[in-house]
Structure 1
Amino acid sequence: MNIAMSAAAPIENRTFDELAVGDTASLTRTLSKRDIELFAVVSGDVNPAHLDPAYAETDAFHGVIAHGMWGGALVSAVLGTQLPGPGTIYLGQDLRFRRPVRIGDVITTRVTLREKREAHRTCIFDCLLENQRGEPVITGTAEVMAPAEKVIRPRPALPAVTLHENGPDPFDLRGKRGLIVGIANEHSIAFGCARALRDAGADLAITYLNDKAEPHVRPLGESLDCAHILPCDLREAGALEGVFGRLSQSWDKLDFVLHSVAFAPREDLHGRVVDCSASGFAQAMEVSCHSFVRMARLAEPLMKDGGTLLTVTFYGSARVVDHYNLMGPVKAALESAVRYMASELGPKGIRVHAISPGPIKTRAASGIDRFDELLAQAAARAPQRHLAEISDVGGLAHFLVSDAARRITGTVIPVDGGQHISA
Structure 2
Amino acid sequence: MSSKNSKIAVVGAGITGLVTAWKLQNKGAKVEIFERKAEAGGAIKTVRNDQWQAEYGPNTLLLKDRQVAEFLTEVGLSGDKVTANPEAEKRFIVKNGHLEPLPSSLMSAVKTPLFSITGKLRVLLEPFIPRNSDRDQTVAEFVERRLGSDILDYALNPFVAGIYANRPEDLSLRHAFPLMDNLEQEYGSMIWGAIAGSKKRNEQGRIDRELISFKNGLQQLPNSIASELNHVHLNHEVHSVRESNGQWTLKTNMGEFGPYDEVVMNTPLYKLNKQLVPITDAQLQTLQNVKYPPLSVMLLGFKKEDVDHPLDGFGFLVPEAENRKILGALFSSTLFENRAPEDSHLLTVFIGGGRQPDLAENDSETLLTIVLDELNDLIGLNGDPQFKDHIYWPKSIPAYHVGYDEVLDVLNEIESQNRGLNMAGNFRYGISVPDCIKNGLSLAEKLL
TM-score when normalising by structure 2: 0.26
Structure label with greater radius of gyration: 1
TM-score when normalising by structure 1: 0.28
- Between the two structures, name the one with larger relative contact order (CA 8 Å, sep ≥ 6): 2
